[in-house]
Structure 1
Amino acid sequence: MIKRKDLLALSFYEKSPFTGSEGPMNYRVEKITQKTADGDGEEKLLQATIWPGPLCFSLTDEEKKQRHTAPFSNEGLEMLAEWMNEMCS
């Protein structure tokens, strides 16, 4: 089971993605940006990607990857941990 504390501090994601695994499932959590609804700016989000092992992220076919986004916050990291746990159970 992936816990919030396993996903490191929020500040880590400002500079680098984080990868890990839980059983046969691999995961990657990273900061992404997207245009705001009004199109005037950008907002930061967290994105989790999961895929079956044993291959690494860059060698896994895109159709085998599943993604989920959440707000760039500690609550967002909690949401991603819950989603990843649901997906691997």
Structure 2
Amino acid sequence: MTVYTLLGPDGRPYDSDRPGLVGGHRRMRIYGRLDCPAALRALARGGYAAHRVFFADEHTAIAAGYRPCAVCCRIAYREWRARHPD
């Protein structure tokens, strides 16, 4: 059986028998789709994989304090940005 390491709503890792549906970047605290073009480009450059994390779903990523990706989650990002102006 394959075991996947996911982050929970508290941001702590746990083992799961199911893969995560959402990926993220630990340092930037961003989450997005697993097929996100920006994440795939970053992975291809090689500097992203060490900080890659996975979540069971979008709600868990948000609860852990991650924000939506501006590339693959445009609508969610716009909504998040409206609530978090700089």
TM-score (normalizing by structure 1): 0.25
Structure with bigger RCO (C-alpha 8 Å, 6+ apart): 2
Bigger share in strand: 1
